[in-house]
Amino acid sequence: MAERGSVMHSWCVQSDWNAPTVVGGAGAWFWDDQGRRYLDMSSQAECCNLGHQHPGVIAAIRDQAEKLCYIANAWGAKPRADLAERLLERAGFEGGRVFFTLGGADANEHAVKFARWATGRPLGKIITRYRSYHGASSGAFTLSADARGQHQPPGMLNVIHALPPYCYRCPFGQNYPSCGMRCADHVGDLIDWEGRDTVSAVLMEPHAGTNGIVAPEAYWPRLREMCSDRGVLLIADEVMSGFGRVGEWFAWQKYGDAGRPDLMTLAKGLTGAHLPLGAVLVSRKVCEHLDDRMLDAGLTYSGHPLSCAAGVAAVDAYATDGLIERAGELGAALRARLEALRVRHTCIGDVRGDGLFQVLELVADRVSRQPLVPWDASGDSPVKHLVSDARQRGVCFAGRGNLLILAPPLVISRDDLDRAVDLLDELLSACDAGMASA
Ligand SMILES: Cc1ncc(COP(=O)(O)O)c(C=O)c1O
């Protein structure tokens, strides 16, 4: 824990940080300098989709490092071109272009920039939603409406937040499907009320992100339709949901062309987190408005050859290892086990998700759906205890507020998945007992 006194750590009170030093990993496992092994049920911020230390990606990084580590954007670089080509093909964005960034937050900020330029709407309003997370740089934090950003001053103008498609706690007091998707129509209403010719884009995650909101099936295609009818661009933030998480290359592909966005942002699984990289995929339609103007955007490390080489190898590994389909199949098995836990554990309020991206929402009272802690609570909580107990027992879960997010590497074995759910079963009993004694 040498870094405890010297490194500023993310999302915590510095004096509370106290974590083992990890020195190695393979597949769904990693281990610390004391020789303790951990089964990864979080993919470390939902990004190690390929598992730890994928040999093909490591070989590609090594190979590229020996040839050329860096060349600026004024020059071409083969891995950059190869990766752009593969991404456009996988997304079906033929005739489009890719702008490379360093991660997800700057991908989202650039997507907004491109959408504003392409639509040419002076106010360039952007509609996102409450309970979303799009990154921690000041612009991306403004796009987000996450408990962690409540006290941040706005870093971007003209961002409007819609109410979320949160069926378990519907902000419109409705029930799905008799609601008629009021939550989606609400986004259309916002565009109309703000003025169609003032709104450039709607930017949302097509699947759960860290806030664990999973919209009903018809929501995303309805957004697509409403944006098209109003001449507003649709931006899919696929930073977390992309690269197989939900059993598709990109989550919007569940809806085929009816869900196709105009721009899409990527990071995390793009290299399987072997090196940092983000990207904005810009469709041909949007490129037509951008190709003949000066692109006032640039990052020193945009399209860094080493990261792009990792990206090429990662995209190839998802395909050749059959990981996208595998996530769908293993995800169904995981979901079945979670549904069985829901029957046994009264602290489970809701189970939702797709593929290897499942969310458990825990409650203090199943009938009233009273949350265990307020949604923006940052202190002690039963979920934090559960995550910490699991870590002691060698399993790494991701938890925030009342949510447990199960997002293991797509390479996890069925036995390991079962082992993690068995431990979860045991630990949830402690939450049930806590409820009973409250
Ligand atoms: C949906 C989504 N968008 C954007 C980001 C920001 O990505 P980064 O941390 O690489 O800037 C995240 C990070 O968790 C995310 O989940």
pLDDT tens for each residue of 79-121: 999 999 999 999 999 999 999 999 999 999 999 999 999 999 9
- CA nearest to 20, candidates 388, 398, 421, 411: 388
Ligand 1 mean position to 35 CA, how many Å? Answer: 31
Asked if 357 contacts 241 with a C-beta cutoff of 8 angstroms, the reply is: yes
Which CATH number characterizes residue 34's domain? 3.90.1150.10
Residue 363 confidence (pLDDT): 96
Residues 6+ apart with CB under 8 A from 364: 347, 370, 371, 372, 435, 438
Check whether residue 234 and residue 281 sit in a common domain. Answer: yes
Ligand 1 mean position to 240 CA, how many Å? Answer: 7
Domain boundary, last residue among 320, 343, 363: 320
Put residue 256 in one of left, alpha, beta given phi > 0 → left and psi -120 to 50 → alpha: left
- Cα–Cα separations (whole angstroms), residue 23 to 55, 221, 334, 398: 17, 44, 29, 20
Domain boundary, last residue among 268, 285, 320: 320
The residue whose C-alpha atom lies closest to atom 3 belonging to ligand 1 is: 134
Which CATH number characterizes residue 83's domain? 3.40.640.10
Residue found under tokens 């990206």? 311
Q: Given ligand 1 and candidates 240, 246, 359, which is best to mutate, with the most ligand atoms within 8 Å of its CB?
A: 240
The finding on whether 131 has its CB within 6 A of some atom of ligand 1 is no
Ligand 1 mean position to 135 CA, how many Å? Answer: 5
Ligand 1 mean position to 234 CA, how many Å? Answer: 18
Secondary structure E strands in 283-401 = 348-354, 357-365, 370-371, 395-396, 398-400
Check whether residue 351 and residue 414 sit in a common domain. Answer: yes
* C-alpha span between 342 and 366 (Å, rounded): 11
Put residue 46 in one of left, alpha, beta given phi > 0 → left and psi -120 to 50 → alpha: left
* C-alpha span between 54 and 181 (Å, rounded): 41
**SS3 of the chain: helix, strand, coil, percent, to 5:** 40, 20, 40
Residue 286 confidence (pLDDT): 98
Asked if 433 contacts 352 with a C-beta cutoff of 8 angstroms, the reply is: no
* C-alpha span between 156 and 261 (Å, rounded): 22
Q: Classify burial at 349, counting beta carbons within 10 Å of its beta carbon; exposed 0-12, middle 13-18, buried 19 or more.
A: buried
Check whether residue 120 and residue 176 sit in a common domain. Answer: yes
Domain boundary, last residue among 296, 320, 344: 320
Number of domains comprising the chain: 2
Q: What is the CA radius of gyration of the chain?
A: 21
Check whether residue 149 and residue 67 sit in a common domain. Answer: yes
Ligand 1 mean position to 362 CA, how many Å? Answer: 24
Check whether residue 147 and residue 200 sit in a common domain. Answer: yes
Check whether residue 224 and residue 341 sit in a common domain. Answer: no
The finding on whether 205 has its CB within 6 A of some atom of ligand 1 is yes
* C-alpha span between 409 and 212 (Å, rounded): 18
Helix axes 219-230, 182-194, angle to 10 degrees: 20
Check whether residue 346 and residue 425 sit in a common domain. Answer: yes
**Among the atoms of ligand 1, which is closest to the Cα of residue 278?**
10
Check whether residue 84 and residue 192 sit in a common domain. Answer: yes
Check whether residue 248 and residue 303 sit in a common domain. Answer: yes
Structural domain including 389 reads 2-54+322-437
The finding on whether 240 has its CB within 6 A of some atom of ligand 1 is yes
Put residue 243 in one of left, alpha, beta given phi > 0 → left and psi -120 to 50 → alpha: left
Check whether residue 230 and residue 290 sit in a common domain. Answer: yes
Strands 199-204 vs 125-129: parallel, antiparallel or unpaired: parallel
Residue 379 confidence (pLDDT): 79
The finding on whether 267 has its CB within 6 A of some atom of ligand 1 is yes
The finding on whether 133 has its CB within 6 A of some atom of ligand 1 is yes
Residue 378 confidence (pLDDT): 79
The finding on whether 105 has its CB within 6 A of some atom of ligand 1 is yes
Residue 180 confidence (pLDDT): 95
Residue 436 confidence (pLDDT): 62
The finding on whether 104 has its CB within 6 A of some atom of ligand 1 is yes
**Among the atoms of ligand 1, which is closest to the Cα of residue 238?**
1
Strands 348-354 vs 199-204: parallel, antiparallel or unpaired: unpaired
Ligand 1 mean position to 344 CA, how many Å? Answer: 34
Residue 434 confidence (pLDDT): 72
Residue 150 confidence (pLDDT): 80
Q: Where are the alpha helices (DSSP H) in 37-137?
A: 43-46, 55-67, 78-91, 104-119
Q: What are 38-75's pLDDT values in tens digits?
A: 999 999 999 999 999 999 999 999 999 999 999 999 99
Residue 246 confidence (pLDDT): 97
- Report, as ranges of residue numbers, the positions in the chain whose pLDDT lies below 50: none
Q: Which amino acid is at 381?
A: S
Ligand 1 mean position to 144 CA, how many Å? Answer: 10
Q: What is the pTM of this model?
A: 0.97
Residue found under tokens 């600026």? 72
Check whether residue 20 and residue 39 sit in a common domain. Answer: yes
Residue 66 confidence (pLDDT): 98
For 199, list phi and psi in degrees, rounded to 5: -100, 125
Q: What angle do CA 147, 152, 153 make, to 5 degrees?
A: 140
Check whether residue 49 and residue 78 sit in a common domain. Answer: no
Residue 437 confidence (pLDDT): 65
